[in-house]
Amino acid sequence: MVEINRRKSDSIAFHEDEVKLAKNAMDKLRTTIEFFYYLMDYREKDSFTMIMISAEDLLLRVPLKKWKRQSDVLIEIDRELNVYVLISQSTDSDGGKRFAEILLSNIDMNGGEGTYCVETDITSTEHSIQEVIFKIVEKYISIKQEKKSDKVHIAYINEDDIPEEEEINYLTD
């Protein structure tokens, strides 16, 4: 009889809570991103930026509402896990990264620790909405597994944009 090891070091296995996070993100972000895709395709609007963020020791819902711009859309992905996504309209990659860094700084100044932050830029509608959401969630899960907190990480939608020194690794305990 052949023994099958379902958790090899090179497998892409996710824990139940990570799968549920991806499902929640898909459920809660799909329609909003669909609207922004419409604006990009038919209203010739610019790109937008998504920032997925969580923190320990600081409930983010209220401060994020205060810190965001009027044109930013705040979406609660998981209140219990304290995970939120901010969608910033007409924001390029530099502006999105700077805004994410400001959020990290504000969270730190207000007592938050263990902040996980992923930023991605959507510059075209060539990728499916599902792919965009899963890319940011995949990167978020990866940095949480590796405990790479308190830094802005970039989720690249186009594989060609990923710098050689950066690759996604999955811990499978």
Cα–Cα dist 20/24, whole Å: 6
Six token digits for residue 142: 């990866």
Q: What percent of the chain has pLDDT over 90?
A: 66
Assigned domain for 99 exists: yes
2 burial via Cβ count (<10 Å: 0-12, 13-18, 19+): exposed
Q: pLDDT, tens digit, for every residue of 13-32?
A: 678 888 899 999 999 999 99
Assigned domain for 80 exists: yes
Q: pLDDT, tens digit, for every residue of 131-155?
A: 999 999 999 999 999 999 999 999 9
Assigned domain for 98 exists: yes
Assigned domain for 55 exists: yes
Cα–Cα dist 120/135, whole Å: 9
Place of tokens 């896990």: 81
Assigned domain for 170 exists: no
Contact status, residue 83 vs residue 54, Cβ threshold 8 Å: yes
CATH code, 69: 3.30.70.270
> Is beta strand 48-56 parallel, antiparallel or unpaired with respect to 73-78?
unpaired
Q: pLDDT, tens digit, for every residue of 87-117?
A: 998 777 678 889 999 999 999 999 989 999 9
Assigned domain for 162 exists: no
| Amino acid symbol at 67 | W
Domain carrying residue 62: 16-157
Assigned domain for 3 exists: no
Please name the residues in contact with 149: beta carbons below 8 A apart, sequence gap of 6 or more.
Answer: 113, 114, 115, 116, 143
Residue 171's pLDDT is 40
Assigned domain for 6 exists: no
**Count of structural domains within the chain:** 1
Contact status, residue 91 vs residue 49, Cβ threshold 8 Å: yes
